[in-house]
Amino acid sequence: MAYFDAASAAPLHSVARQALLASLDEGWADPARLYREGRRARMLLDAAREAAAEAVGCRPDELTFTPSGTRAVHTGIAGALAGRRRTGRHLIVSAVEHSSVLHSAEAHEAAGGSVSRVTVDRAGAVDPAGYAGALRPDTALACLQSANHEVGTEQPVAAVAELCREAGVPLLVDAAQSLGWGPVEGDWSLLTASAHKWGGPSGVGLLVVRKGVRFAAQGPGDERESGRAPGFENLPAIVAAAASLRAVRAEAAAEAARLRELTERIRARVPRLVPDVEVVGEPVRRLPGVVTFSCLYVDGEALLHELDRAGFSVSSGSSCTSSTLTPSHVLRAMGVLSEGNVRVSLPMGAAEEDVERFLEVLPGAVAAVREKLGAPTAAVAREEDVLVVDSLGKRCPIPVIELARVIGDVPVGGLVRVLSDDEAARLDIPAWCEMRGQQYVGEEPAEHGTAYVVRRTS
């Protein structure tokens, strides 16, 4: 079985396993106690903090270990907003942030705060000018991920950090996807990360708050971890997380070059091997091991099951995965095709022969899913000079398949109205038009669902 979903969780690094087992024997005591076992545990905790801080590029007393990366994000945003409440209650995020950031933004809005969401281009990258335009006198905090978790696009953190610094606004960087590859550039103020993304154990997050940043921890106070992560530290997991971070950093340069070659191979060959495919994300400024593509006329969940049966573990941002029936917020913000979406994220040590076998298996898997879907017969009617396709009650990619089948039935310049009540159609039909060279006119209200209007141009 080839595991190609490292962006969700990287396999446990061998150094992490060794450190975890060793610290189970040495680090079980309370590091706050003064007896021998407590002092030994404190030494392990201090050493782990110093190692992690060195990897991040911060002072040890600026770094807090949290129970998860999500908890680090929630704590960091809430504490920074509370610390700057006298400045205002305005928060800036990008439209493609991890759900932990967006959920914090939603909670802030529900509590009476205001949020600006900076848009991205078709590659998933923000323009620093978008942050410059969103900054206001009452802005308390800005957030920007270092690299996107779904498409691998790296963000211009240093440029945005400089703009925020000039405005006197702290910038929180979610570095979960990139920290294993290297420190985050720029004059950021807060940083979060998660150990299971770089091969450490799950249940360990990092929160860094630079000295001088106003921060007020929320919730009941606790004497541990500067009051920012209450409860007894999971010391064996913390030690393993710090040890594995140091280990992967030592391998990062050589492994990044190797994985970039493998992902470039996928990016170049998939469109040649499989018809009607769009490779998405920034082609150059991206994470080393991540490549994402979307296949027209394919159900994402069905394709993932087909690949799983062939021995490949991949993930999807498709609207048709088992975890969600709404389009990926990242793909929606980018304006790219969401149906049949596949994210390949190679772990360190991924074998070249597994990538080659994936490229051999993929065309057949896509063809099998398309054959099973069968391109159902569309219910077609005419309203004057407009062809109407009734796809109500059908999930994407069926409305797109039916559109593709009938577009040739109208003359060049003619219109097709696709009736659909699936939210994914709002993203997938314009994306199909972009890929196929047809004109997306827009959407119109309909008695049931929405009418998406397409003009045939070729």
60-109 confidence digits (pLDDT tens): 999 999 999 999 999 999 999 999 999 999 999 999 999 999 999 999 99
Residue partners of 48: CB distance under 8 A and separation at least 6:
65, 235, 238, 239, 241, 242, 243
Give the CA count within 13 Å in the CB-facing half-sphere of 136. Answer: 13
Report pLDDT for 42. Answer: 93
Task: Identify the band that residue 180 occupies on the pLDDT scale cut at 50, 70 and 90.
Answer: very high
Residue with tokens 């802030």: 108
The Cα–Cα gap between 206 and 76 comes to: 10
The answer on pLDDT for 322 being more than 50 is no
- Residues in contact with 33: Cβ distance below 8 Å, sequence separation at least 6, in sequence order: 39, 41
Q: Per-residue pLDDT for 125 more than 50?
A: yes
58 is catalytic: no
For residues 352 and 354, give the distance between their C-alpha atoms in angstroms, rounded to a whole number. Answer: 5
Distance CA 267, CA 279 (A): 7
Residue 83's closest CA among 196, 213, 275? 213
Average pLDDT, the chain: 92
Per-residue confidence (pLDDT) for residue 378, from 0 to 100: 42
Least confident segment among 31-35, 276-280, 376-380, 395-399? 376-380
| Residue 309, pLDDT above cutoff 90 | yes
**Residue 149 vs residue 325, higher pLDDT:** 149
pLDDT in tens, 198-209: 999 999 999 999
What average pLDDT does the segment 372-389 reach? Answer: 62
CB 41 within 8 A of CB 235: yes
> What is the share, in percent, of the chain residues with pLDDT greater than 90?
78
| Beta carbons of 179 and 198 less than 8 angstroms apart | yes
Other beta carbons within 10 Å of 16 = 28
**Catalytic residue (choose from 58, 295, 320, 433):** 320
Per the CB < 8 A criterion, the answer to whether 183 and 211 are in contact is no
Q: DSSP assignment of 205-270, as one string?
A: EEEEE-TT------SS--SSGGGTS-S---HHHHHHHHHHHHHHHHHHHHHHHHHHHHHHHHHHHH
**Amino acid 458: pLDDT:** 86
Decide: helix, strand or coil at residue 314. Answer: coil
Residue range 215-274, pLDDT digits in tens: 998 887 776 777 788 788 899 999 999 999 999 999 999 999 999 999 999 999 999 999
